[in-house]
Amino acid sequence: MPELPEVETSRAGIAPYLEGHRITALRVRQPRLRWPVPSDLAAHLEGQIVRSVSRRGKYLLIAVNGGCALLHLGMSGSVRILPQGTVAGKHDHVDLELDSGLMLRLTDPRRFGALLWQAEGEEHKLLASLGPEPLSDAFDVDHLGRCCKGRRSNIKAVIMDSHVVVGVGNIYANEALYLAGIDPRRAAGRISIARLQTLVAAIKAVLARAIEQGGTTLRDFVGGDGKPGYFSQELNVYGRAGEACPGCGNILKEVRLAQRSTVFCSLCQT
């Protein structure tokens, strides 16, 4: 699944081609995505100038007068900027045509993505319960400490909970916990404030670096400019079970936590 840095890479890639341009047509070839594309979405978008392209968690927000389109890439979705008239493939479900002669195309083989509408002055229910952005000042040790207090859940599950903080998916949770030296299996409520402070800093550092590098290369993901990300070249633990820890040389272990692959060093992470 594209994670926060991948979505941010997509946002940065498509924003210059959308912002300030008029939407001339919305063409929906397959409305049955994770949730049905609203039947009146074209009426909200066509003829409107794109004011901004922003991100909330893993949602891209394409803002126009009156509201914004919410775009989620799901498990395997991607967006491209292409010339209008480019022949659509089997999994090319939506085109947003612009006055520049270009278009934004949503490709989603598994159809777990979404294209929805949020009216101006309202907050879509999918966004209403999200936690703070991990790179914002709102995500700090005080916030994480409150979320961890009394929790028996493992710390990895807590930081991957979008109600606690958005956008810390499996890859970056593995990497942040390694950087912070915290065993992912440890109960969240039994971690000291000092160590949580280290974890907050690690989450911010890992995500910032991944965004800088253009996201992590996944089988189903390339950036908005058609180029893959490069952060996967720098992963310390994710996908490296059975290899040597880059810090101490110990063999990295793999366990399943909440049905997700979790790789860690039993010596460096306690």
Assess whether 2 carries a catalytic annotation. yes
Does 133 reside within a domain?
no
Does 270 reside within a domain?
no
| Active-site annotation holder among 22, 27, 34, 260 | 260
User: Which of 128, 149, 172 corresponds to the end of one domain?
Assistant: 128
Does 117 reside within a domain?
yes
Same domain, 11 and 121: yes
Same domain, 194 and 219: yes
Same domain, 37 and 95: yes
Specify the residue for token string 């520049």.
Answer: 100
Same domain, 46 and 93: yes
Residues facing residue 255 across a β-bridge: 262
Percent of the chain with pLDDT over 70: 93
Assess whether 260 carries a catalytic annotation. yes
Does 136 reside within a domain?
no
Q: CA–CA distance from 150 to each of 58, 131, 175, 185 (Å)?
A: 28, 19, 24, 15
Q: What is the mean pLDDT of residues 53-80?
A: 94
Binding-site residues for DNA, in ranges, read 91, 110, 151
Q: Structure tokens of 7? A: 């979505």
Same domain, 112 and 182: no
pLDDT one-digit tens code per residue, 225-255 = 666 565 666 799 999 999 999 999 999 999 9
Assess whether 254 carries a catalytic annotation. no
Same domain, 241 and 177: yes
Does 167 reside within a domain?
yes
Amino acid (one-letter) located at 89: G
What is the C-alpha radius of gyration for the chain, rounded to an integer number of angstroms? Answer: 20
User: Which of 79, 98, 128 corresponds to the end of one domain?
Assistant: 128
Same domain, 19 and 102: yes
| CATH, residue 40 | 3.20.190.10
| Rounded distance between C-alpha atoms, residue 100 and residue 84, angstroms | 9
| CATH, residue 249 | 1.10.8.50
* Domain that residue 259 falls in: 141-264
Q: 176 or 217, which is more confident? A: 176
| Active-site annotation holder among 2, 5, 134, 184 | 2
Q: Please give the pLDDT value at position 234.
A: 77
Does 135 reside within a domain?
no
Structure pTM? Answer: 0.87
Does 269 reside within a domain?
no
Amino acid (one-letter) located at 106: L
Same domain, 95 and 178: no
Same domain, 151 and 193: yes
DSSP string, 32-86: BSSSBPPTTHHHHHTTPBP-EEEEETTEEEEEETTEEEEEE-TTT-EEEEEETTP
| Active-site annotation holder among 11, 55, 56, 58 | 58
Same domain, 183 and 222: yes
Same domain, 185 and 122: no
Does 154 reside within a domain?
yes
Number of domains in the chain: 2
Binding-site residues, in ranges, read 91, 110, 151
pLDDT at 71 over 70: yes
The HSE-up count of residue 241 (CA atoms within 13 Å, CB side) is 9
Assess whether 227 carries a catalytic annotation. no
pLDDT band at 2 (very low <50, low <70, confident <90, very high): confident
pLDDT at 75 over 90: no
Q: Please give the pLDDT value at position 1.
A: 63
Same domain, 123 and 146: no
pLDDT one-digit tens code per residue, 81-136 = 999 999 999 999 999 999 999 999 999 999 999 999 999 999 999 999 999 999 99
User: Which of 128, 162, 185 corresponds to the end of one domain?
Assistant: 128
Contact between 5 and 228 under an 8 Å Cβ cutoff? The reply is: no
